């Protein structure tokens, strides 16, 4: 039998294998693009899920952390002429540092101060990206970012880039799973349910909130630098309030407090507009209808629905009649 502490490693290895095989089932290379963007969004959703799904803290500015890192590496690798790995490091560090600066004062307070602070922050970042034309290129975007090359290997083909994103995503999933299955994860979930009870268990709630907020911004930062060196072009419209809300929807739709749910939500919401492209003008209506249906029929998100189906199968196997009224619980 597998030792208990290696269970997450096995899950992540299985996930990595699935990601590795995915391109072989795609009809053409265009879909690789969507997989890459899905993977990048899944990376942000993973981080946001740690903050929102587990610790119960809402950020409405994660698109800005994503964008900050993307612009930082863009400026560093072009105007400043720095090597790509240095630019990427700067980008991720900047997102984490800014999160720390926002979190320090706001996370000491109880209530929805973080949501308000990040909302304001996201809007400010978006305005700065649009207005500081000399640095960012303004509304028309920043062009000429170099395609990623590391240790002499250039990720020129979309397929090679996909495998890079897949590897990072699988590692991030393993990181999240291991973090959750430890006293840190228990502390985060405790904060979500009862801050008083968490305190009496010796949990430094302000410290843990700050830690997980900075961590989730760093995840968004990693996604941001991967995004910039993939598209080689960034524009403010990708990092607005709309995208911040979409990220929250990915986590909620996927299933709060589920690593797999958050990633499923991200891939689903990334692919859905592409799948609906054929419907032309009515695509946005169908998009909305699908979201409403998801929330109505899967109140606990995709992960909750999957857990429910799994339980039902288990019960049928044991030959019992399915009971009614059991809620979906996601661990």
Partner 1 sequence: MSDSAPLMSVSEISVRFGGVSALADVDFCIAKGTVTALIGPNGAGKTTLLGAITGMVAAQHGRVALEGRDITDLPPHVRARLGVVRTFQNLEVFANMTVLENVMTGRHALAAYGILDGILRTPRFRAGERACREAALEKLEFVGLADKKDVLAGELPYGSQRLLEMARAVAAEPRLLLLDEPAAGLNTQETKALAGLISRVRDELGITVGLVEHDMDLVMGISDAVTVLNFGTVLASGPPARIQANPDVVAAYLGD
Interface positions with partner 1 (CB under 8 A) = 5-6, 8-9, 175, 178-179, 181-187, 189-190, 192-194, 196-205, 211, 257, 329, 331
* 39: CB partners within 8 A, 6+ apart: 19, 162, 165, 166, 168, 169, 267
Q: Which is nearer to partner 1, 158 or 181 (CB)?
A: 181
Residue 176 CA to residue 55 CA, distance in Å, equals: 13
For residue 73, the SS3 value is helix
Task: Judge whether 309 and 255 are in contact, CB under 8 Å.
Answer: no
Query: In angstroms, what is the minimal distance from the CB of 114 to partner 1?
Result: 19
Chain Cα centroid distance, residue 108: 25
Query: In angstroms, what is the minimal distance from the CB of 52 to partner 1?
Result: 14
Q: Which is nearer to partner 1, 93 or 178 (CB)?
A: 178
Q: Which is nearer to partner 1, 39 or 185 (CB)?
A: 185
Q: How far apart are the first and last CA of the chain?
A: 23
Q: Which is nearer to partner 1, 98 or 257 (CB)?
A: 257
Q: Which is nearer to partner 1, 186 or 315 (CB)?
A: 186
Q: Which is nearer to partner 1, 96 or 234 (CB)?
A: 96
Query: In angstroms, what is the minimal distance from the CB of 211 to partner 1?
Result: 8
Query: In angstroms, what is the minimal distance from the CB of 182 to partner 1?
Result: 3
Nearest-CA neighbor of 191 among 214, 209, 175, 213?
A: 209
Supply 202's token pair.
Answer: 């010796």
Q: What are the residues facing 150 on neighbouring strands?
A: 153
Query: In angstroms, what is the minimal distance from the CB of 231 to partner 1?
Result: 30
Query: In angstroms, what is the minimal distance from the CB of 198 to partner 1?
Result: 8
Q: Within 10 A of 165 (CB to CB), how many other CB atoms are there?
A: 23
């Amino acid at each position: 039998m597998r030792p208990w502490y290696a269970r997450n490693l096995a899950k992540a290895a299985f996930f990595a294998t699935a990601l590795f095989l995915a391109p072989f089932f795609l009809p053409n290379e265009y879909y690789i693009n969507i997989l890459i963007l899905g993977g990048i969004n899944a990376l942000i959703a993973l981080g946001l899920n740690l903050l929102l799904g587990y610790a119960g803290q809402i950020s409405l500015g994660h698109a800005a952390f994503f964008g900050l890192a993307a612009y930082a590496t863009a400026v560093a690798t072009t105007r400043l002429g720095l090597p790509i790995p240095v630019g990427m490091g700067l980008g991720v560090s900047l997102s984490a540092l800014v999160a720390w600066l926002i979190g320090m004062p706001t996370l000491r307070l109880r209530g929805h101060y973080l949501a308000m602070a990040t909302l304001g922050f996201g809007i400010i970042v978006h305005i700065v990206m649009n207005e500081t034309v000399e640095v960012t290129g303004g509304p028309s975007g920043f062009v000429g970012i170099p395609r990623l090359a590391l240790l002499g290997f250039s990720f020129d083909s979309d397929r090679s880039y996909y495998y890079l994103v897949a590897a990072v995503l699988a590692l991030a999933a393993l990181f999240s799973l291991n973090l959750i299955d430890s006293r840190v994860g228990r502390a985060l979930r405790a904060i979500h349910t009862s801050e008083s009870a968490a305190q009496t268990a010796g949990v430094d709630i302000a410290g843990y909130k700050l830690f997980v907020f900075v961590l989730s911004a760093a995840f968004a930062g990693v996604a941001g630098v991967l995004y910039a060196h993939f598209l080689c072009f960034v524009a403010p419209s990708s990092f607005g309030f709309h995208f911040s809300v979409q990220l929250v929807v990915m986590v909620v739709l996927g299933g709060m407090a589920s690593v797999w749910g958050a990633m499923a939500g991200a891939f689903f919401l990334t692919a859905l507009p592409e799948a609906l492209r054929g419907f032309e003008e009515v695509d946005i209506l169908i998009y909305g209808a699908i979201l409403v249906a998801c929330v109505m029929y899967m109140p606990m998100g995709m992960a909750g629905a999957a857990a429910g189906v799994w339980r039902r199968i288990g019960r049928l196997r044991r030959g019992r009649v399915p009971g009614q009224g059991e809620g979906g619980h996601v661990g």
